[in-house]
Amino acid sequence: MVIGSDILPKILIPGLKTNVGGSLIAQNSIFGWILSGPVAEQISTFSTQVVEGSADSLGDLLKRFWEQEEVPSAPTHTDDDEFCEELYKNTTYRREDGRYVVKLPFKSTFPDSTALGHSRPAAQQQYLSIERSIEKKAELQTTYSKVLEEYLTLDHMEPTKSREIIRDGNYFSFYLPHHAVIKPDSKTTKVRVVFNASKLSHSGLSLNDVLHTGPVLQNDLMLIILKWRLYKYVFNGDIEKMYRQIYVHKEDQDFQRILFRRSPERPIEDVKLKQLHLALTVLPIWP
């Protein structure tokens, strides 16, 4: 929107935010927030284009403008967020090979009032169902098995007992159902395995229900894009198997059990995942 300087004083209203995203200034107006800040290179020319508006009313257009252009507020941390931060600061350590080891952020009410029930039968039922569904797709079945076998080859999972861990009537193990996500257009991983920590156990609670979610650690995408104007080149990268470079503490690995077998003719195996596979858990703070 191009506004003449003679109109500018008439549209500004109280409200000024500095250091938005590190380099922007936000001034409130009757149309919403106006962002201003430095650019990477000098702008010598610019062009404008006038397009006939749609039949939407001015009120609807302004409402959508405010919703889309609202400056994000600073994130607020809850008591649960603080608990997760302290947990990882106090318990995270690095192995000799440089990889981090983290604990799962269990709620303080676990296992007293938020307890898990048995989960192996449901995980086995779902695994057999998925196995039957991909039997007719030989290539997918082979690829799916290879992906899981790679976990064993890379020592990202190891065999465990088929009996669930029960102490004082409480379950201290959990079986993660899993399924394949197919992306034929992907240049790197066309088939990946997704583990479902939201599957309910016999108690009516899932593993997600007994874990803290933790704060969002990713930078705001809109602010990242806004900062692109400050640089001539922008690079985008992908770290292969990034989450699998982080180990879960040995005493928590039994909460990441899965079932699989290399072929339908072989018996089902019980294994536990040694790396981080729960998207909701907080990652350690990198130094």
- Secondary structure (DSSP) of 215-229: ---SPPHHHHHHHGG
Mean pLDDT throughout 108-132?
91
**Same-domain check for residues 230 and 267:** yes
Domain that holds residue 178: 79-273
CA distance 125 to 265: 17
**Same-domain check for residues 258 and 189:** yes
Last residue of a domain, one of 25, 48, 69: 69
Mean pLDDT throughout 92-103?
92
- Closest to 70 in 3D by CA, of 127, 42, 32: 32
User: Beta-carbon neighbour count of residue 208 at 10 Å?
Assistant: 17
Select the more confidently predicted residue: 37 or 63: 37
pLDDT of residue 91: 94
**Same-domain check for residues 168 and 133:** yes
Cβ-contact 270, 161 below 8 angstroms: yes
SS3 132: helix
- Please say if the pLDDT value at position 286 is more than 50: no
Q: Which of 72-81, 135-144, 226-235, 272-281 reaches the highest mean pLDDT? A: 226-235
Six token digits for residue 55: 């039949």
**Same-domain check for residues 97 and 18:** no
**Same-domain check for residues 163 and 236:** yes
Per-residue pLDDT reduced to its tens digit, 148-169:
888 888 888 999 999 999 999 9
Task: Characterise 219 by phi-psi region: left (phi > 0), alpha (psi -120 to 50), beta (else).
Answer: beta
Count of the separate structural domains present in the chain: 2
